[in-house]
Chain A
Amino acid sequence: MAMAALRREGRRFATPLLSPNPANALRSSLVPYEEPVLSGVRCISTQVVRNRMKSVKNIQKITKAMKMVAASKLRAIQTRAENSRGLWQPFTALLGDTPSVDVKKNVIITISSDKGLCGGINSTSVKISRALHKLNSGPEKENKYVVLGEKAKAQLVRDSKKDIELIMTELQKNPLNYTQVSVIADDILKNVEFDALRIVYNKFQSVVSFLPTVSTILSPEVVEREAESGGKLGELDLYEVEGAETKGEVLQNLAEFQFSCVMFNAVLENATSEQGARMSAMDSSSRNAGDMLDRLTLTYNRTRQASITTELIEIISGASALEG
């Protein structure tokens, strides 16, 4: 009598329960279609979730650490960038801001970072550089790139390799200083012929906003030509020039000094933007990892709860079957 009841109960429960224990000879004999794959499925699912939780937690730790590093670097470099902002203003006041100047040999200096994981600042400066190239292209015009930083190099080499004149990387291996930047500026001046240099960089505004900026530097000959023809630089002729024998010589020195000063500020601003962008990118990714971890924890707990409930049902039903 009891055996018959057990058999009845067992048949009713065994099918949906997916017995974890194939050693239960009674039940396995009762359910002939049970597949061996399904055995222990419950354990595996929690194991998978647990593994994913562990990896997400590790990723979150890494992104949090990177955010901290970026934040501390940002604080150091931000003050330096802000202090260097006084440096280019006198030049702009004297020589004007002439992005629309029409000259033959344009050199576009793209400043980017060496490392990735810093949002879209590198692709922005590459996009602006390409657009400047397009804007200034035409018959009898020459456009060349000078690339600073690994990331812009990777993007520009793909489609405009023949236009790249000079590539410099590992700018930020040592902390940036004026001497280092003026050596770079000197290298560029020696190796590249230009009528106008256009420096493309990201100006730091706040941790979340960067302004793509173009600074224009004219060669001494173009400055003289523009000053004589009037227009924006017309006022330059009113200035008395003291120093070397000729005006051209002073203008040459002036243009070189302007270039190094503007470059210094541009490199610092871009480095600051890089750290800021990295900080906000890492912040959002650690937040994403946290969200994901929450979801996974929920799934994990739900699965665990379900398995406990199932086990309880098994025990209770078994017991009640024995009683009945």
Chain B
Amino acid sequence: MFRQGSRFLSRASTMRWCRPFSTDLPAEAAADSNFVEAWRKAIPNVEPPITPSSFMATRPATPSSIPSKLTVNFALPYSSELSGKEVDMVIIPATTGQMGVLPGHVATIAELKPGVLSVHEGNDISKYFVSGGFAFVHANSVADIIAVEAVPLDRIDPNLVQKGLTDFTQKLSTASTDVEKAEAQTGVDVHSALNAALTG
């Protein structure tokens, strides 16, 4: 008898898992109703186009107490490195200096500079070298990090970094125009940041 009961319970729990599919996309609710109304009035014979918010899962509201984990989205143009991952802490290379983000961090918009982004999860620390971008920390303990390029630190060749650093330092000293100078300066900045990340 109890065997049957357990099976029934397990089925109930799997059914509960199946349910959320029907509410997966809150498409109509999230769209801008003013826009749709104005569209229908002005152009009645064409269906209003979709806007990006209808493809997005709504972000959770700010909880009253600080959650124990930080949700991180880390996106690159060619992949989503982390998406909705719950971690303990991230350290972001902001232009003003390294910025540690814990759950309950104040809402912030930060520009990134070339440097090391480290994601702390328990005892695991994964380090990426990012080339620049933006980071948004929201009040609901969600952090969005967008970078143009990022590589795990262990895939960088120290010899090439040294070589690049000397190359660009030389270029900077011989640069004549402003554009050349700026390019060489960027190269030196990136390579010295890489060097610091590898040695430090």
What residues of B have a CB within 8 angstroms of the CB of A212 in the complex? 47, 49-50
Q: A80-B78, A89-B75, A243-B96 are in contact. Are A215 and B52 (CB under 8 A)?
A: yes
The 8 Å CB contact of A214, one of B43, B49, B79, is B49
Interface size on B, residues (CB 8 A): 45
The stretch of B138-146, B160-168, B183-191 in contact with A is B138-146
A317: CB under 8 A from chain B?
no
Name the one of B52, B94, B139 contacting A213, with C-beta atoms under 8 angstroms. B52
The CA-CA distance from A128 to B8 in the complex, in Å, is 52
CB of B121 closer than 8 Å to a CB of A: no
Q: Mark B86-110, 1 if CB is under 8 A from A, else 0.
A: 0000000011100100000011111
Contact of A89 among B50, B56, B138 (CB under 8 A): B56
Interface residues, chain A, with chain B CB atoms under 8 Å away:
80, 83-94, 96-100, 127-128, 131, 134-135, 177-178, 200, 203, 211-216, 238-244, 250, 253-254, 257, 261-262, 264
Please give, as numbers and ranges, the residues of chain B lying within 8 Å of A131 by CB-CB distance. 39, 42-43, 46
A216 and B51 contacting across the interface, CB-CB below 8 Å: yes
Chain A residues lying within 8 Å of B55, measured Cβ to Cβ, are: 85, 203
User: How far is B47's CA from A240's CA once the two chains are assembled, in angstroms?
Assistant: 39
B residues with a Cβ closer than 8 A to A are: 30, 32, 34-35, 38-39, 42-43, 46-47, 49-53, 55-56, 59, 73, 75-80, 83, 94-96, 99, 106-111, 133-134, 136, 138-139, 142, 144, 146, 148
A135 touches B42 (CB 8 A): yes
Give the chain B neighbours of A93 by CB distance below 8 A: 56, 59, 136, 138, 142, 144
Q: By the criterion CB–CB under 8 Å, are A243 and B146 in contact?
A: no
Q: Are B94 and A242 in contact (CB under 8 A)?
A: yes
12 A-B contact pairs sorted by A residue (CB < 8 Å): A92-B56, A93-B144, A94-B109, A94-B138, A100-B35, A131-B42, A135-B42, A177-B77, A178-B148, A200-B49, A240-B107, A241-B110
Given A92-B56, A178-B77, also A98-B32 (CB < 8 A): yes
Residue of A nearest to B47 (CB): A212
- In Å, the complex CA distance between A86 and B78 comes to 9
Q: Which of A80, A84, A90 has the most CB of B within 10 A?
A: A90
The answer to whether A257 touches B146 (Cβ under 8 A) is yes
- Pairwise interchain contact A97-B32, C-beta atoms closer than 8 A: yes
CB contact between A90 and one of B43, B49, B136 (< 8 Å): that residue = B136
Q: Which residue of B lies closest to A249 (CB)?
A: B111
Question: A99 touching B35 by the CB < 8 A rule?
Answer: yes
In whole angstroms, how far apart are the Cα atoms of A242 and B53 in the complex? 26
Q: Are A94 and B51 in contact (CB under 8 A)?
A: no
Residue of A86, A239, A242, A254 touching B80 (CB-CB under 8 A): A86
The residue from B32, B134, B144 contacting A99, defined by CB atoms under 8 A apart: B32
Q: Which residues of B contact A241 (CB under 8 A)?
A: 108-110
Quick one: given A131-B46, A243-B110, A254-B109, are A261 and B77 in contact (CB under 8 Å)?
yes
CB distance from A261 to the nearest CB of B (A): 7
Q: Write out the residue numbers on chain B whose beta carbons fall within 8 Å of the beta carbon of A87.
A: 75-77, 146
For the complex, give the distance between the alpha carbons of A306 and B105 in Å.
88
Cβ–Cβ < 8 Å partners of A91 in chain B? 146
Top 7 closest pairs, chain A to chain B, by CB: A90-B144, A86-B80, A243-B111, A97-B53, A86-B75, A100-B35, A178-B77
With both chains docked as a complex, state the minimum distance between the C-beta of B23 and any C-beta of chain A, in angstroms. 19
Residue from B38, B79, B106, B146 within 8 A of A240 (CB atoms): B106
Contacts of B75 on A, CB cut-off 8 Å?
86-87, 89-90
CB distance from A231 to the nearest CB of B (A): 11
Q: How far is the CA of A94 from the CA of B140 in the complex (A)?
A: 12
> Looking across the interface, which residue of chain B has its beta carbon closest to that of A80?
B78
Partner pick for A178 among B78, B94, B136, CB 8 A cutoff: B78
Are B46's CB and A127's CB within 8 A?
Answer: yes
